[in-house]
């Protein structure tokens, strides 16, 4: 069964090669959907096996670690892998529907499908990477693909904002690669399981320096304050499907890397206070930016930043309960944030704009879109009984159990951020959906393509389903958090005979 571990990386790469040489758009679309469906099936199998049998490890080329590259599908990796591939499949179907209905978009299909599958391969490789350099490679694969996707269409605005995104990403990659080199120079290995022991033996000052360098690189990729200014300017200008998949996945890969670093490589909570301060600032700055926006996509981009703070807060608590809440919130946020950006694409499709000053009356003109916005918006704001409320409640309980001035301050900041998110969502609802206003929405509406509505409905429904399955899902995330906290299951899976 370990032979399945590389397939979430290999299948999208092979699919990308096939779609690149196929000259027929319909064939490209069919191959892309088939590839992601197969990848999702494999991911589900890996998820079940990881939770029933423990971490699965494959040694590429038969080379034993630490010499050879290893891919590890533990509970955390398998869970995020499954959710991420499910989201990418929904967004792919949405993009196909948008391409069929919006022939003026100018998106070259021959470029989109191969690049999208390469992006998927980069995300899956990052989740499965068992060494720091392969994690770096995963980041570079997904970032290289994202450079193409964020500038699709070649408009002046997309090229300009895409350039900012590229420059910041390259800077983060340079910091990450420099940290990788220094870690290897200090320890003689890049294997994560082996580093778990060797980093503990380093002098405290050197260990802290390496720790901070890696966190700096991961913080840029996760878009935490003060390293997040690039995100609200870059994401809103891309095509709706691209923005949705970026919002749902790319920052979460950065959060995933932070979780790995804080649990496997640098346990002990040496920088917990710093992470809590960063988490609080990320919540506040993000939500304040959101309430000040007059464009729906920019508003959602700022809420994306603010809710990264909840995840970092859970990690900073350095407890099983905190990690449980953080992982639950990552799963919830991937789904809900992606759904909201897809809804923003539907609004743009229906009304011709996402500028709130040009919108109005959508609740009457497009009631389906109104419902599709309202449900995930309330979910994101943390209104009971949605999973956004359950995730925040889990984090607040973990913070209260930890005690101390900073955790309690973060609980208060988190509650204020939730209220700010509710205010921002209510403002969008009142302006764009509830008020009467003569816009393009007063014209006879053109029917929205089923392939745009269907995936959006599916993601909104999935977000609601987390409420019904909250108990089992919390058990799953708690098991993953416990394994992360103990470290031993991961290390023993890679080195059954003991760490060399």
**Residue 11 confidence class, pLDDT cut points 50, 70, 90:** very high
* Helix pair 367-381, 405-428: axis angle to 10 deg: 170
Q: Token pair of 229, please?
A: 């200014």
Strand partners, 57: 72
Task: Tell me the pLDDT tens digit for each residue of 217-250.
Answer: 999 999 999 999 889 888 888 888 899 999 989 9
User: Which of these ranges, 134-143, 171-180, 236-245, has the smallest mean pLDDT?
Assistant: 236-245
* Calpha distance 372→367 (Å, rounded): 9
Rounded to an integer, the average pLDDT of 409-428 is 96
The pLDDT of residue 106: 46
Of the CA atoms within 13 Å of residue 469, those in its CB half-sphere come to 13
Q: Pick the residue with more confidence: 292 or 155?
A: 292
**Residue 24 confidence class, pLDDT cut points 50, 70, 90:** confident
**Residue 100 confidence class, pLDDT cut points 50, 70, 90:** very low
Task: Tell me the pLDDT tens digit for each residue of 453-493.
Answer: 999 999 999 999 999 899 999 999 999 999 999 999 999 99
User: At residue 204, does pLDDT exceed 60?
Assistant: yes
For residues 53-86, b (16+ Cβ closer than 10 Å) or e, as one string?
A: ebbbbbbeeeeebbeebbbbbbbbbbbbbbbbbb
Q: What share of the chain has pLDDT > 70, as a percent?
A: 95
* Calpha distance 119→322 (Å, rounded): 30
Q: Pick the residue with more confidence: 497 or 323?
A: 323
The answer to whether the CB of 187 falls within 8 A of the CB of 156 is no
Annotated domain spans of the chain: 2-493
């Amino acid at each position: 069964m370990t032979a399945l571990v590389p397939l979430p990386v290999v299948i999208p790469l092979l699919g990308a090669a096939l779609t690149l040489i196929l000259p027929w758009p319909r064939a490209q679309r069919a191959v892309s959907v088939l590839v992601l469906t197969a990848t999702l099936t494999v991911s589900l199998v890996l998820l079940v096996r990881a939770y029933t049998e423990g971490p699965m490890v494959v040694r590429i080329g038969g080379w034993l670690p630490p010499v050879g590259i290893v891919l590890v599908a533990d509970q955390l990796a398998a869970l995020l892998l499954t959710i991420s591939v499910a989201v990418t499949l929904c967004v792919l179907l949405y993009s196909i529907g948008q391409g069929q209905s919006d022939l003026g978009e100018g998106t070259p299909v021959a470029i989109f499908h191969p690049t999208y599958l390469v992006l998927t391969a980069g995300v899956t490789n990052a989740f499965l990477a068992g060494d720091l350099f392969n994690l770096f490679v995963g980041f570079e694969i997904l970032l290289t693909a994202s450079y193409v996707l964020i500038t699709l269409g070649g408009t002046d605005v997309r090229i300009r904002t895409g350039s900012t995104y590229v420059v910041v990403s390259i800077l983060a990659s340079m910091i990450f690669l420099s940290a990788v080199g220094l870690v290897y120079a200090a320890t003689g290995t890049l294997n994560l399981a082996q580093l778990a022991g060797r980093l503990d033996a380093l002098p405290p000052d050197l260990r802290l320096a390496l720790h901070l360098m890696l966190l700096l690189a991961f913080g840029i990729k996760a878009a935490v304050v003060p390293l997040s200014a690039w995100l609200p300017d870059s994401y809103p200008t891309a095509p709706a499907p691209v923005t949705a998949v970026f919002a749902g996945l790319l920052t979460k890969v950065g959060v995933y890397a932070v979780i790995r670093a804080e649990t496997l490589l640098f346990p002990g909570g040496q920088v917990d206070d710093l992470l809590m301060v960063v988490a609080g600032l990320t919540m506040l700055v993000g939500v304040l930016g959101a309430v000040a926006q007059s464009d729906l996509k920019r508003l959602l981009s700022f809420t994306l930043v603010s809710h990264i703070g909840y995840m970092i807060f859970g990690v900073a608590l350095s407890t099983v309960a905190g990690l449980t809440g953080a992982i639950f919130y990552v799963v919830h946020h991937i789904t809900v944030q992606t759904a909201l950006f897809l809804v923003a694409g539907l609004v743009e499709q229906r009304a011709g704009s996402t500028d709130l000053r040009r919108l109005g009356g959508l609740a009457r003109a497009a009631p389906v879109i109104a419902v599709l916005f309202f449900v995930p918006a309330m979910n994101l704001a943390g209104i009971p009984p949605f999973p956004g409320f359950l995730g925040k409640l889990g984090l607040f309980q973990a913070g209260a159990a930890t005690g101390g001035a900073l955790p309690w301050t973060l609980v208060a900041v988190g509650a204020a951020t939730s209220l700010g998110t509710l205010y921002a969502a209510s403002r969008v609802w009142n302006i764009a959906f509830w008020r009467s206003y003569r816009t393009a929405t007063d014209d006879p509406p053109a029917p929205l393509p089923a392939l745009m509505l269907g995936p959006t409905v599916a993601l909104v429904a999935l977000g609601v389903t987390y409420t019904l399955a909250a108990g089992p899902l919390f058990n799953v995330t708690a098991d993953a958090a416990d394994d992360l906290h103990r470290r031993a299951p991961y290390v023993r899976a890679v080195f059954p005979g003991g760490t060399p």
